[in-house]
Amino acid sequence: MKGQRWLGPAMFMPAIFYIVALVGVPFVMAFIYSVGDVKIGSEGYHFVGLHNFISVLKSPSFSQAVKNSVIFTISSQILVLIGANILALALKEAFPGRRFMRFLILLPWVAPVSVGSIGWKWILDSVYSVVNWVLVRMHFVKQFEAPVWLGIPKLAMISVILVHTWHMLPFATVIILAGLTAIPRDIPEAAAVDGAGFFRTLFQITIPMMLPIINVAMLFGVIFTFTDMTVIYILTRGGPFDSTQVIPSLAFFTGILGSDLAEGAAISIFMVPLLVIVSYFVLRTAHRAEVT
């Protein structure tokens, strides 16, 4: 049993060290940069206080980005949760072809999101959009008045929300499905025997029992949506006129492409409060698991 005391730490310290060096240190650096004057290629560091934050808060692009981030996150998460619950209920029981259908349904989550978004860019193309072809054929719009999905502010926002929903829906569905299959079958069945109808069983038994798992799907969904920029970067680059700019994409354009690392860092710091809140709730769920 000798030597055991150091064996444990010796086995986990390398991993912890890696994570501290490449997550912990840059996390702290982001804060330090946000109160400094670092640019790409610049040397040295001067403390500038809240200068970057003041300039960020004054910029119209930033307030637009905050507003867009909130709209983007909330609307796509509402759509995801509604869709995922319906879909999970429809997939719960065994049916012929279930495996294949699960594969089809999962594709938007498992395929690289950058590549899936390019698919949508083609589907929503300004001239050759298949969506518009159908709309024209069904006489909803005229040939040359068809909507330019990614070129008009409101439509662009709707498009990126729908594409992101498309990407996140399978993830929420499988999480909720895992929760559904864990509900003991006899409880809804007993309710049915007692005369409760489908909707009554759904709203008074199934959904309340599902709440913890829906919470998990929502927490991860919120964090993966609020901090992501891939769909938006590929479909609209934040345009037209910042109408789909969100906090992470603005941080990218300012900090990396605009080479103002300090201001980019200041922008990205605005994601931290939400990160802290979500982490708190994730911790709470994890601790509940420890206790029971």
Partner 1 sequence: MARPARAVRKVVLWLVRIFFALMLAFPFYWMLITTFKRSPDLYNLKNNPFLFNEPPTLEHLRLLFNETLFLRWIGNTAFAGAVVVIITLVLAVPAAYALARLTGGWGAQLGIGVFLTYLVPPTLLFIPLSKVVAMLGLQDSLWSIILVYPSFTIPFSTWLLMGFFKSIPRDLEDAAMVDGLSRWGAFLKLMIPMSTSGILTVVIFTFTLVTQEFVYALTFISTAAHQTVGVGVATFLVRGDVFYWGSLMAGCLITSVPIGILYNIFLDRFIEGFTVGAVK
Binding to partner 1 in span 162-221, by CB under 8 A = 166, 169-170, 174-175, 178-179, 182, 198, 212-213, 215-216, 220
- Given 35, 65, 81, 87, the residue binding partner 1 (CB under 8 A): 87
Polymer length in residues for the chain: 292
Query: Within positions 97 to 136, which residues make up the interface with partner 1, using CB under 8 A?
Result: 101-108, 110-120, 122-123, 125, 127-128, 130, 133
Distance CA 121, CA 124 (A): 5
CB atoms within 10 A of CB 89: 16
Provide, rounded to whole angstroms, the least separation between the CB of residue 155 and partner 1.
Answer: 18
**Of 234, 224, 268, nearest in space to 250 by CA:** 268
Cis peptide before 147 (omega within 30 of 0): no
Among the listed ranges 58-66, 67-75, 147-155, 263-271, the one in contact with partner 1 (CB under 8 A) is: 263-271
Q: Which residue's CB is nearer to partner 1, number 125 or number 155?
A: 125
Provide, rounded to whole angstroms, the least separation between the CB of residue 153 and partner 1.
Answer: 21
Instruction: Name the DSSP letter for residue 93.
Output: S
User: Does 12 contact partner 1 by CB under 8 A?
Assistant: yes
Provide, rounded to whole angstroms, the least separation between the CB of residue 12 and partner 1.
Answer: 4
**Of 276, 273, 267, 279, nearest in space to 66 by CA:** 267
**Of 21, 42, 20, nearest in space to 261 by CA:** 42
Provide, rounded to whole angstroms, the least separation between the CB of residue 114 and partner 1.
Answer: 4
Q: Which residue's CB is nearer to partner 1, number 190 or number 272?
A: 272
Provide, rounded to whole angstroms, the least separation between the CB of residue 216 and partner 1.
Answer: 5
Contact call for residues 264 and 252 (beta carbons, < 8 A)? yes
Provide, rounded to whole angstroms, the least separation between the CB of residue 105 and partner 1.
Answer: 5
**Of 32, 73, 28, nearest in space to 248 by CA:** 73
The residue type of 258 is: G
Provide, rounded to whole angstroms, the least separation between the CB of residue 204 and partner 1.
Answer: 19
Contact call for residues 213 and 178 (beta carbons, < 8 A)? yes
Distance CA 159, CA 157 (A): 5
User: Does 86 contact partner 1 by CB under 8 A?
Assistant: yes
Q: Which two tokens stand for residue 75?
A: 């609307």
Which residue is it, tokens 């929300």?
161
Among the listed ranges 46-54, 69-77, 200-208, 277-285, the one in contact with partner 1 (CB under 8 A) is: 277-285
User: Does 90 contact partner 1 by CB under 8 A?
Assistant: yes
Query: Within positions 219 to 248, which residues make up the interface with partner 1, using CB under 8 A?
Result: 220, 223, 227-230, 233-234, 248
User: Does 265 contact partner 1 by CB under 8 A?
Assistant: yes
Query: Within positions 49 to 68, which residues make up the interface with partner 1, using CB under 8 A?
Result: none
User: Does 33 contact partner 1 by CB under 8 A?
Assistant: yes
User: Helix or strand or coil: residue 183?
Assistant: coil
